[in-house]
Chains A and B, each alone.
Chain A
Amino acid sequence: MSGNSHGIVVEGLVRIFKGDIHAVDGIDLEVAAGEIYGFLGPNGAGKSTTVHMLTTLLPPTAGRASVAGFDVATQGADVRRNIGAALQEAALDNFLTGREHMELQGGLAGLSAAERAQRGTALLERVGLTEAADRKVGGYSGGMKRRLDLALALVHGPAILFLDEPTTGLDPQSRSALWDEVERLAREDGVTVFLTTQYLEEADVLADRVGIIDHGRIVAEGTPDELKREIGGDTVEAVPADPHHHERAAEILHRFGEPAAHTPKGVAVRLTQAAEHLPDIVRAFDDAGITLAHLELHSPSLDDVFLAKTGRSLEGAGDESEPAEAPVPA
């Protein structure tokens, strides 16, 4: 195992739950110091189970993982000292204020009363909760709760930050505010970020590297650009104005490339140098007498990557539910 003191190294990590459920089925990954790693997958893919193992809350069934240079199975206390985590539930106490949360978390992390107060105030300001600091968390919005959760995870100045679906259920505005903050942590403070998400856009915008997980296994890994390039080529999607022309439109378009993911009314193909072929495509439709309501050229998305690797589209791929709580070890 490498001595990656601010990173994460995972080798063959496995977690089997009662009933022979392989929630995490042998994953390998490496996250460099200061990197934002996006762990992308549908509900039930094994993302949270992985985070629970890496944050020492759940012992692995097999395999090894080191976080900040410490083994998660045998050096739990050392791992915990070096990490901050905002877990999926954003578990906060509705009857306490934001400041009281900071005080408790800071105190338990070993800060003196003075440090606690100073650091609490600074972090609350950083996540934009200064005004709400003395209000009870029960009255916070979803976005405010996530921001407080983030501030709490940072109270002891961790080198590595785990964020388990930090923006699930947030409105677009709160989501991009949180992205900015995570970005700032990694770029300015050099914090390593391990982030799970089921949103393609989140992984695309935020992550330096993305690992795509499905059924407990990593099916693809790389920078968002690498992954998309691997797919090869752009996608051209055409929507005929008359729905009856759908079949003939497909016939025509499929001459130009490989069938690809498309909207219900459209047809799509993937092809290289799509822009150059576009006039030919338009001409072909014109010659066939098919009017198009919509013609679109787009570069591959991570959803195309997911589709190519798993045969399913990521949106709505979450079927089997993953245990939210760490269950009793099998």
Chain B
Amino acid sequence: MTSTLEQVGLVARRSVRRTMRQPALIVPTLVFPLFLLAVNSSGLSSATKLPGFPADSYLDFAITVAFMQGALFAAITAGTELATDIQSGFLNRLQLTPLRRAAILVGQVAGATTLALIGALVYLAVGLIAGVDVKSGVGGAIVLLLYAVFIAIAFSGIGAAMGARTGSPEAVQGVFPLIFAVFFLSSMSMPRDLISIDWFRTVATWNPASYLVEGLRSLVITGWDGTALWRGLAVGVAVLVLSFWVASRALATRMART
């Protein structure tokens, strides 16, 4: 009998191989966030002239959006991959082995996580070339990468929960615009205290995504900001625990083996 850790390793290796062999998953993860970043940083650059805007360049301000978008792609990848396994019957195959549920859940998000790491490295590299100035320095850039991957893992849980619940890759993809809308109702494109519309500011304040964005962003535009980092981390942990709990429950219903 293999240990749970070995099982995680086996499922994870398969998940990574699978993901890395699908250009249809890799290309959007790399292209779309950079495209949006290019559009935003040129189109919204005048925002930096607003009194009290926290960064000199809008690119510095907006680069975190790419990491958030990368996390969103990780969620979609994890969700569609799990749903595909359910739909194809591959999950049945795995169920006939002594595989534990925890192993499948953790192993399955390995592909999405790897993709998120590659994405984060690319966004950062492109950002640095384009002139992003990471105020927290080299150490901060490393923390930024880890932080981005951590958020991606937390979001993979959301994807996995949706995948396990619906068993349909299309359904998982259908939720994509919804989460993106939630992102836009956060402080993603504007600092909260500069949002002049009251309801928007209220929504952004209650929106957990704001704290994830602000945690990431503080490393670039502020330096080491303990409050922002700590809040972002707390929200991230909450998302992680909640999403994997829901995913595990949904998968338990699916895997009704005796």
Which residues of A come within 8 Å of B, CB atoms? Answer: 55-59, 72-74, 76-77, 79-81, 83, 85, 87-89, 91-93, 95-96, 100, 103-105, 107-110, 136, 152, 325-326, 328-329
Assess whether B98 is in contact with A57, with CB atoms less than 8 Å apart: no
Counting CB contacts under 8 A, is B10 at the interface?
yes
Q: How far is the CA of A76 from the CA of B2 in the complex (A)?
A: 18
What are 27 A-B contacts with C-beta separation under 8 Å?
A: A55-B96, A56-B257, A56-B258, A76-B258, A79-B258, A80-B97, A83-B96, A87-B92, A87-B93, A91-B89, A91-B92, A93-B14, A93-B18, A95-B17, A95-B21, A96-B17, A96-B18, A104-B13, A107-B10, A108-B11, A108-B98, A108-B99, A109-B97, A109-B98, A110-B98, A152-B93, A326-B256
Counting CB contacts under 8 A, is B113 at the interface?
no
Counting CB contacts under 8 A, is B181 at the interface?
no
Assess whether B98 is in contact with A77, with CB atoms less than 8 Å apart: yes
Q: How far is the CA of A105 from the CA of B93 in the complex (A)?
A: 9
| B-chain residues with CB within 8 Å of residue A77 when the two chains form the complex | 98
* Set B10, B89, B253, B257: member contacting A104, Cβ < 8 A: B10
Q: How far is the CA of A92 from the CA of B256 in the complex (A)?
A: 21
Q: How far is the CA of A91 from the CA of B92 in the complex (A)?
A: 8
| B-chain residues with CB within 8 Å of residue A88 when the two chains form the complex | 89
Which chain B residues (120-166) contact chain A, with CB distance < 8 Å? Answer: none
Which residues of B come within 8 Å of A, CB atoms? Answer: 1-2, 6-7, 10-11, 13-14, 17-18, 21-22, 88-90, 92-99, 253, 256-258
* Set B2, B11, B89, B93: member contacting A110, Cβ < 8 A: B2
Within the complex, what minimum Cβ distance (angstroms) separates A48 from chain B? 11
Within the complex, what minimum Cβ distance (angstroms) separates A209 from chain B? 25
Assess whether A57 is in contact with B96, with CB atoms less than 8 Å apart: yes
| A-chain residues with CB within 8 Å of residue B2 when the two chains form the complex | 107-108, 110
| B-chain residues with CB within 8 Å of residue A95 when the two chains form the complex | 17-18, 21-22
Closest to B255 in A: A57
Is chain B's binding surface mostly helix, strand, loop or mixed?
A: helix
| B-chain residues with CB within 8 Å of residue A79 when the two chains form the complex | 258
* Set A59, A80, A87, A96: member contacting B256, Cβ < 8 A: A59
Within the complex, what minimum Cβ distance (angstroms) separates A180 from chain B? 24
Q: How far is the CA of A328 from the CA of B166 in the complex (A)?
A: 12
Q: How far is the CA of A74 from the CA of B2 in the complex (A)?
A: 22
Assess whether B94 is in contact with A108, with CB atoms less than 8 Å apart: yes
Assess whether A80 is in contact with B14, with CB atoms less than 8 Å apart: no
Assess whether B22 is in contact with A73, with CB atoms less than 8 Å apart: no
Asked if A72 meets B258 with Cβ closer than 8 Å, knowing A89-B88, A91-B88, A328-B253, the reply is yes
Assess whether A81 is in contact with B98, with CB atoms less than 8 Å apart: yes
Q: Which 8 A-B pairs have the closest CB atoms?
A: A91-B89, A108-B97, A76-B258, A89-B89, A107-B10, A95-B21, A91-B90, A95-B18
Assess whether B89 is in contact with A96, with CB atoms less than 8 Å apart: no
| B-chain residues with CB within 8 Å of residue A55 when the two chains form the complex | 96
Closest to B9 in A: A107
Within the complex, what minimum Cβ distance (angstroms) separates B44 from chain A? 39
Q: How far is the CA of A23 from the CA of B230 in the complex (A)?
A: 55
| B-chain residues with CB within 8 Å of residue A76 when the two chains form the complex | 257-258
* Set A103, A107, A152: member contacting B6, Cβ < 8 A: A107
For the complex with contacts A59-B256, A91-B90, A104-B13, 13 further pairs of A-B residues with Cβ separation under 8 Å are A56-B258, A73-B258, A76-B258, A79-B258, A80-B98, A85-B96, A95-B22, A100-B14, A104-B11, A105-B97, A108-B98, A110-B1, A110-B2
| B-chain residues with CB within 8 Å of residue A89 when the two chains form the complex | 88-89, 92
Closest to B6 in A: A107
Assess whether A87 is in contact with B6, with CB atoms less than 8 Å apart: no
Within the complex, what minimum Cβ distance (angstroms) separates A312 from chain B? 29
Q: How far is the CA of A70 from the CA of B256 in the complex (A)?
A: 18
Asked if A100 meets B17 with Cβ closer than 8 Å, knowing A73-B258, A89-B88, A107-B6, the reply is yes
